[in-house]
Amino acid sequence: MTLAPISFVIPLKDEEQTLRELFARIAAEMAALAKEYEVIFVDDGSTDGSWRIIQELARHHPAIVTACRFAGNSGKAQALAAGFQAARGEVVFTLDADLQDDPKEIPRFLAKLAEGFDIVSGWKRKRRDPWHKVLPSRVFNKMLSRFVGVALHDHNCGFKCYRRDVVKNVALYGEMHRMIPSLASIKGFRSAEIEVEHHARAHGVSKYGVNRFVRGFLDMQTVWFLKNFRERPLHFLGGSALALLLAGGLLGIVSCAPGLGDALAARIAALAQFVLALPIPLAALGFVAELLVHGIEEKGRRAMIAEIIPGARALAASVPVERLSGPGLRLLRVPSGPQVLIVDDDPDMRETLRLVLEDADFAVEEAADAAGALASLSEATAVVLLDMNLPTARDGFACLRQLRKRDADLKIVMVSGQQEIQAAVESMKMGACDYVVKPFDAARLVRAVQRAVELRRISEGDFEFASVRENSRPELVAV
């Protein structure tokens, strides 16, 4: 299996003294491996010169470096989430920016990942940190491994390697970055670990304090609950209600025991009444939680398909499933959104466009030329994504005219190269509604298609479509 290209997501705060050297080490290692890669720096509100150095690296290496900055300090989980969102690699590495993680370990991570695991975590057997950080960390890691059933020596190690499917399907919030292997295990992903060399911090200061262990313990309970009761909350709340019911009944019996005295018996009886009043609201809350969980499940039911053989895709089309992958199985996602017709004579480009649009829940049809486009055009087609150079601009214009002649309300988004922008503008005068320039940005492409779908619905008099508002995120400034 090919494990390139590779993305490196590096969250940081106030690490100006290490960034150039870290990038140089990663670049040297990737040159030795002869693999394509990208480095995504996420500045989590640095107050030193870190952002200036990241901008400099982005200017000098525009094809490799992506620079992101939060407007303020939002935490490592948010920084990783932003980096994961931007990552394009089939394999995603995370490592800290303080040079305590050594890029020379990259080949060993890749070798372990190739054994069939989804996550490979570093294990700093010999930590170069003070004892008051090492001892509580070891206790926490043993407790977490026992609680969630993911046996790692160092859950919190920032040096990790993931398959793309993991980082795209595990939601990070709060301080859940240390819980990624645990959260991923809920979705069936498998973790392994390798020992890594840990260097002493040469510059800057640690960003972690004692309070992180308290927050880590609370996060551990959250993951334990999600792992065991996420899809059956009534088992937890109903079990608690039954325990309280039993305790209340026992207290009621004790309050009737002879020889207690009237005052003590009255107090025990009052406590029994209080305890017996709790099971009913707890059970009701459990039933409501069950309704919510199963309502969400009905809207987006998932199914695992171990193998797809020719002809089975139509059979699987009735089950909406997500595209994930793991050892021994392949999960395919059957999109249920509006249909987009891709017209491009380059099969690799069609494949790229198809994957981007299917990830955004668009159903996709493909055609290699104008004749194929006209043959594939149907009432279900909402938008056509048309290559400007098919294989020449004249062919692109001709296809545009034929499609518009077939359906005057059809919304067409042109895909053009940098040298064809003027031609793309001309195509809009002929009826295209937008254009995307290659090499395109996936988010820009999806937004263009979404706008075209909305224009199509408006032209058809359908004003009841829903607009999706993204969750609020920290401000990102990209170079």
**What DSSP string runs through 194-207?**
EE--BPPP-SS---
pLDDT value of residue 417: 76
Quick check: 330 pLDDT over 70? no
Q: Please, what is the end-to-end C-alpha distance for the chain in angstroms?
A: 32
Does pLDDT of 363 surpass 90?
no
Nearest-angstrom CA–CA distance, 58 and 77: 23
Beta strand extents in 99-179 (DSSP E only):
119-123, 160-163
3-state secondary structure of 407: coil
pLDDT tens digits, 294-313: 554 444 444 333 333 333 33
Q: What is the pLDDT of residue 226?
A: 63
The token pair at 69 is 């900055």
pLDDT range class, residue 75, cuts 50, 70, 90:
confident
Return the SS3 of 162: strand
Q: What is the arithmetic mean of pLDDT over 37-59?
A: 91
| CB-based contacts of 454, cutoff 8 Å, min separation 6 | 465, 467
Instruction: Look at the alpha carbons of 254, 259, 264, 270 in this order and tell me if their dihedral is positive or negative.
Output: positive
Contact residues for 466 (Cβ-Cβ < 8 A; gap 6+): none
Measured distance CA(408)–CA(150) in Å, rounded: 57
Least confident of 210-219, 400-409, 423-432: 210-219
- Alpha-carbon distance values, 179 to 135, 185, 227, 419, 462 (Å): 19, 10, 12, 47, 44
Q: What is the mean pLDDT of residues 147-166?
A: 81
Written as six digits, the tokens of 380 are 């279900």
pLDDT (tens digit per residue) in 183-234: 777 777 888 899 888 776 666 555 555 555 556 666 666 666 666 666 667 7
Q: Rounded to two decimals, what is the model's pTM?
A: 0.50
The mean pLDDT of 46-69, rounded to a whole number, is: 89
Report the pLDDT value the prediction gives residue 324, as an integer from 0 to 100: 35
Average pLDDT score over the chain: 76
232 Cβ neighbours under 8 A, 6+ residues apart: 290, 293
CA-wise closest residue to 93 among 112, 75, 110, 115? 110
Judged by average pLDDT, the poorest of 16-30, 164-178, 321-335, 403-417 is 321-335
Whole-Å CA distances, 360 to 96, 201, 337: 31, 42, 8
Give phi and psi for 467, each to the nearest 5: -95, 140
Residue 340: name the closest of 355, 324, 318 by CA: 355
Examine residue 5 and say whether the peptide bond preceding it is cis (omega within 30 degrees of 0).
Answer: yes
